[in-house]
Structure 1
Amino acid sequence: MSNNSNNGTSPVQEFEYKAEMKQLLDLIVHSLYTHPEIYLRELISNASDALSKVRFNALTDQEMLDKEVDLAIRITIDPKEMTFVIEDSGVGMTEEELIANLGTVAKSGTLGFMQSLKEQQKQLDGNLIGQFGVGFYSVFMVTEEVTVETRSSHPGSQGFRWRSGGQGTYTIEKIDKAERGTKISFKFKEESKEFAEEYRVEQIVKKYSNFVDFPIYLGEKQLNSITALWQRSKNELKDEEVNEFYKFIANDYQDPLDYLPVSVEGMVTFKALLFLPKEAPPEMLYRQGELENHGPQLYVKKVLIQNECRDLLPEYLRFIAGVVDTEDLSLNVSREVVQSSPVMAKIRQILTGKILGWFESLAKEQPEKFKTFYKAFGPIIKIGLNTDFTNREKLIELLRFESTKTVDGEYVTLKEYSERMGADQKEIYYHSGTSKGQLLAHPNLEYFQEMGIEVLLLSDPVDVFVIPSIHEYDKKPLKSIEKADIDFSKKNKETPEPIAENLLSPVLQLFRETLGEGVEDVIESHRLVNSPVTLVSGKDGLDSQMEKMMKMMRSDMPAGKRILEVNTAHPIIRNLAGLISADPSNPLIVTAMKQLYEGALFLEGGLDSTTGFLSRMNELIEAATLSR
């Protein structure tokens, strides 16, 4: 930092951007953005935030500067001079806030994220810029130098001027500024002069900022239509207007999948307009705690109180965007009061019921739309089964599954499965794995396929934690097909006869001796049709997919022992029985048994090392190709 004189008045302080800030500015201006028009959206968004803060502060701060000043955003342009000014009467900034807000990277990880995008040669969608706290800097796409003049709303505050060319430095100096708020001014680059035209400014405001909660003026003309859509009745809402409102509040570029107006009067009174996005951001599905800080906007008497109010909905529903407006809270409500308020608890309870009812209606009346919703948010909804016990039964009815009887892209409910079960079937069967294709190829499914028994195919990682907790549906137990205590007494007549008992015992015994402590037991299988062996869980053991997920969370977790089931009607097992009869010490027998066991491990992703497996495979191929 250095000091320069300013014609004998206040000193100008020069600051140097930190290295990562220089890199970030360079990336924003030269590498990543293809829509320079979003600079205006970001400046308006910042001005709107400043106005929201000052309106909120005015509820409790009687000493606030310029308490009676109108809350508005004013834009001035000069097409000939190519100049632009945007001014708000918001909360303003102190010198420290100027440095914090305009001199440093706003969010940790932002630079790394943008750098990786550049390396992948991807361009940032304009909708991402605001999410990473770098919206203000988008102005350097259209200008060489920016001046910011600001004064905080705190009593006795001082005015400051911040100026930068977006290169290596910025300056700050004290100025005389009569009113609170922030004024940003600059001259457009030649290639950006279109933005100094009135029609272009109006077009951008209507596109991105039509629902900003404060009037936006260009000269004397108001450009936006401030309207509290959530205060209107359902038949007054137009889809086009509602869709644009959603894009504005959710920072989404797509229309919502669906929306729900809510109006409640009684023990509590509130209105809401809720939206179902078309897609779930990947981080929402797979990043721990991502949903925790999400939620609809909370308004009290049309005044924004919280932008992301997580107390309005349970965590598993916080992907819902929208606005909730009540008159039953005081305007100066604090975060702590919101959390503990019985009013909020009641609103949350009612909203949860309304939203689950909304999902049920979509499932019945618009099944294709519901399918789109479930594909995007099904994994999140399932989390509610283990957290929202009040609505557990409703959530169970919303569940959808692939099964051995569904075609690709179609699903079955537990109700549908239960209704089409055979008269002799007493249990609902499921099979867990990584994909439908992998599950359908698994030996453990062979008996069920042969007998025409439907099995639910669970390939969502969340399923292994959620579905076993249901225990039963319609008085029918849910059971993993891996469990060794399933009754396999019925089989088709065409099934080959198993080997004789006197040959079976030596085969099983030698398997046990060969595999030793690696397995819990080796038993005759009644579930296998086409495969020689398979691994199953013991009666009290974890199913293999559950164990795999647990090991991912706890790397030191010991692997559980499995039961090896042997198909005594399979030609390989018959051949082994013959070899044992002829010479039990034949080394080929042990090699084949180890290979069969490790092949079963390999199939379910539990084979830690393939070296021995490949070596034995070569040994067996050599024996099979030996010239007689």
Structure 2
Amino acid sequence: MSSHSSSAKFDLHLPGLLKVLAEHLYSDRRVGLRELLQNAHDSCSRRRIEAADGFSARIQISVDREAGDLIVEDNGCGLTGDEIVSYLATIGRGYTRQLREESALTDPESYRELIGQFGLGFLSAFLIASEVEVHTLSFQRGSEPMLWRSTGDETYELSPGSRNKIGTTIRLKCKPSMRFLLCEDALVDLVQMYCDLLPVPIYVGHRRYPINRQHAPWDEDDFDLAWQDFVESHPRSADALWKFQLDDWQIDLGHDTVQIPLSGVIYVPSRSTVSLNEFGDATVFIRKMFITDSNRSLLPSWARFVRAYIESPMLQPTASREDIHEDENFELVREAIEQQLLHQIATLCREDIRRWNLIVDCHTDLIMGWAATCDEFFDQIADCIQLRTTRGMMTVGQYRAECPGDKIYYETTRSPSFFEQVLLEGQSKPVIDATWFGVLPFLQEYARRDRSVRLVRTDSDLQSLMHDVPTDYFDNLVDAFKQVCPRTKIADFQPNAIPAVFLYSEHAEFIAESEEALAKDQLFPGIADAISSIVDDLTDSGESSEGVLTLNANSPLVNQLAIAANEGTLERACCELVCEMAKLFSGRMMDARKMIQSFDVFSGAVMEIVK
């Protein structure tokens, strides 16, 4: 082998490249038709810009069922022989992209509507067809008609053609798996999905009228009328509670400003469901060509209650044109959308607060769950959100009006006992149900902003509801109850209809479960030692898995029992009855087995009293 270096050209294996395109670049082979229609559109646009001959652009799709051919024809600029060799037969070299780059400084607006970019579009025709013919005649003076033919291998045929009108006809011999495209109804559906907004009329078969609308509703002078027509074919947008048009938007970069070209519509659907029916998705168009209807990155993360149709030439499609690149331009467009959405919401709150309240009511969980991620949006919704409480739906403002002071009580799955709500209600303190998605983050953000608010989980503040009382009068009663429950005390609390409750320490469940696991030797030695040490620390600090039976000094029943205890006539069954009733009411530390035992003792006490 020579020690000198050398250079060589890469070889291209076209059948292998086509396999890569079909199986990896494009997720859906139907996009081959979209790419051909895109090329036809660009051809018409180029002729309109460069020829200025007043022609009327048109794209025609036809089928030849007997031959198994799909035919796409346009009356655009056509191709010369040199252009066929340089662009059509050269993979990765796109004439549309070159035109746009060459005109970037001299006349960018004229070429702005051109769609093509990567020089791969025509190659996708072989996703559909086993053989492709291109009949073309260029608009350039002195051009001759040309015929290009290929079966998708390394070679192609180029010969004089017979076309006598300016434009291009592409004839595709459909593969067996793509013969469904020979059905005109299928073609209509695809054209309306991909090319509905392209400003060139597209005809299918012998239909007398174009099947694409050719205009985006957000570009029309009478937007409301155009939107009504648009939603007839896009029913998911029909029930919008509110909508607004996106406009070009100026972003302050600090050292400079930049104008973001932007159009489209953001709208609020009628209802949403957390996880099951969250929105926040956008249908994206680039130069009027459909790209995707499921982009979830352009809209702000907190805007899961809205949907959008978005168009911006700053967005760059991926090579397959099935999604968009998340590059620097993408970030600028996303920021422009977020700023404009916040601006429009603020305007709506000032001018139509009833509509905004309706939106919040219909999407409470989603709005509340995501609002904490955006300060400005949180300001708009903080006083509108209705929270589920033990007294019905309330805003935080209404809650604080009914419950003066600095505390806001809430319950979570960590504090499931109903008796805590009852105790708090007995002191005119409603409880917010924070088991729903987003409630606790919302409350935490509210408290972070308002330092006068203190969030209190219901099971962590029960001791503050209990007030010590002189024990002399109740000593005999407490002693009698200690025969049934050694951990018994007397306190003053509301409501007085409740004779007794069981109070547990914060980590009672953990201590009980750990002690059971340690007793049954269910833990690995190292873990067992660590758990045992934690349990010891908790018990040393006064916590226990056992509850404290707390008698209510305000209760008429407890006072009647105290009289009996002082007179020496109090029966043990009465103490058992009250104790088991308190266990069942409190609910904590009660599995099915313990509940059966409690009911058994409860029933026995009643039978003892009435016998």
Query: TM-score interval w.r.t. the shorter chain?
Result: 0.5 to 0.7
Q: Counterparts of 1:147-166 in structure 2 under 5 Å?
A: 153-154=125-126, 157-158=129-130
CA deviations 1:56-91 (Å, max 9, x no partner) are 79999xxxxxxxx976666999xxxxxxx997859x
CA deviations 1:303-354 (Å, max 9, x no partner) are 3333212111233423422211112234557899956423322333333343
Q: 1:625 to 1:57 in 2, by over 3 A?
A: farther
Name the structure 2 match of 1:352: 338
Partner secondary structure for residue 327 of structure 1: coil
CA distance in 1, matches of 2:483, 2:586: 18
Deviation, structure 1 residue 593: 0.8
| 1:178 maps onto 2:178 in alignment | no
Q: 1:341 to 1:301 in 2, by over 3 A?
A: same
Deviation, structure 1 residue 595: 2.6
CA distance in 1, matches of 2:40, 2:590: 62
Q: Counterparts of 1:489-500 in structure 2 under 5 Å?
A: none
- Cα pair 1:428 1:455 within 8 Å, conserved: no
CA distance in 2, matches of 1:388, 1:415: 21
Deviation, structure 1 residue 375: 3.5
Name the structure 2 match of 1:222: 210
- Cα pair 2:493 2:554 within 8 Å, conserved: no
CA distance in 1, matches of 2:63, 2:350: 49
CA distance in 2, matches of 1:76, 1:54: 17
Q: 1:256 to 1:237 in 2, by over 3 A?
A: same
Partner secondary structure for residue 380 of structure 1: helix
- Cα pair 1:298 1:324 within 8 Å, conserved: yes
CA distance in 2, matches of 1:263, 1:326: 10
CA distance in 2, matches of 1:503, 1:510: 13
Q: 1:441 to 1:48 in 2, by over 3 A?
A: farther
User: Which of 582, 593, 596 in structure 2 is aligned with 1:611?
Assistant: 596
| 1:532 maps onto 2:517 in alignment | no
Partner secondary structure for residue 245 of structure 1: helix
Name the structure 2 match of 1:343: 329
Partner secondary structure for residue 178 of structure 1: strand
Deviation, structure 1 residue 212: 3.3
CA distance in 2, matches of 1:211, 1:247: 17
Q: Select between 271-280 and 392-401 the one with higher mean Cα deviation.
A: 392-401
- Cα pair 2:295 2:323 within 8 Å, conserved: no
Name the structure 1 match of 2:453: 477
Q: Counterparts of 1:314-329 in structure 2 under 5 Å?
A: 314-329=300-315
* Total equivalences in the alignment: 429
Deviation, structure 1 residue 567: 2.5
Deviation, structure 1 residue 274: 0.9
Q: What is the identity, as a one-letter code, of the residue corresponding to 1:501? A: T
CA deviations 1:173-199 (Å, max 9, x no partner) are xxxx93277664899xxxxxxx99xxx
- Cα pair 1:88 1:183 within 8 Å, conserved: no
CA distance in 2, matches of 1:467, 1:589: 42
Q: What is the identity, as a one-letter code, of the residue corresponding to 1:255? A: D
Deviation, structure 1 residue 213: 3.7
Name the structure 1 match of 2:248: 264
Partner secondary structure for residue 294 of structure 2: coil
- Cα pair 1:296 1:318 within 8 Å, conserved: no
Q: What is the identity, as a one-letter code, of the residue corresponding to 1:598? A: L
- Cα pair 2:242 2:268 within 8 Å, conserved: yes
Q: What is the identity, as a one-letter code, of the residue corresponding to 1:432? A: E
Q: Counterparts of 1:254-333 in structure 2 under 5 Å?
A: 254-266=238-250, 267=258, 268-280=260-272, 282=273, 285-287=274-276, 291=278, 295-331=281-317
Name the structure 2 match of 1:16: none
- Cα pair 1:279 1:376 within 8 Å, conserved: yes
Q: 1:563 to 1:625 in 2, by over 3 A?
A: closer
Q: 1:322 to 1:454 in 2, by over 3 A?
A: same
Q: 1:470 to 1:614 in 2, by over 3 A?
A: same
Q: What is the identity, as a one-letter code, of the residue corresponding to 1:444? A: L
- Cα pair 2:406 2:452 within 8 Å, conserved: yes
| 1:460 maps onto 2:444 in alignment | no
- Cα pair 1:522 1:564 within 8 Å, conserved: yes
- Cα pair 2:484 2:575 within 8 Å, conserved: no
CA distance in 1, matches of 2:479, 2:59: 86
CA distance in 1, matches of 2:196, 2:322: 27
Partner secondary structure for residue 172 of structure 2: coil
Name the structure 2 match of 1:571: 556
CA distance in 1, matches of 2:335, 2:317: 22
CA deviations 1:520-577 (Å, max 9, x no partner) are x9672534343234567868999xxxxxxxxxxxxx9999987765422113333454
Deviation, structure 1 residue 263: 0.7
- Give percent identity, aligned residues only: 11
Partner secondary structure for residue 308 of structure 1: strand
Name the structure 1 match of 2:359: 373
| 1:444 maps onto 2:426 in alignment | no
CA distance in 2, matches of 1:500, 1:361: 61
Gaps in structure 1 of 5+ consecutive residues: 1-45, 61-68, 78-84, 91-150, 161-176, 188-194, 491-497, 543-555
Q: Select between 263-272 and 587-596 the one with higher mean Cα deviation.
A: 587-596
TM-score (norm. length: structure 1) = 0.53
| 1:242 maps onto 2:230 in alignment | no
- Cα pair 2:576 2:602 within 8 Å, conserved: no
Q: 1:398 to 1:296 in 2, by over 3 A?
A: farther
Highest CA radius of gyration, 1 or 2?
Answer: 2
Q: 1:411 to 1:230 in 2, by over 3 A?
A: farther
- Cα pair 1:524 1:566 within 8 Å, conserved: yes
Deviation, structure 1 residue 296: 0.5
Name the structure 1 match of 2:405: 426
CA distance in 2, matches of 1:474, 1:538: 29
Deviation, structure 1 residue 381: 1.6
Q: 1:473 to 1:265 in 2, by over 3 A?
A: closer
Q: What is the identity, as a one-letter code, of the residue corresponding to 1:572? A: L
Name the structure 2 match of 1:97: none
Deviation, structure 1 residue 512: 7.8
Gaps in structure 2 of 5+ consecutive residues: 1-27, 43-56, 74-122, 133-169, 251-257, 510-522, 524-530, 536-543
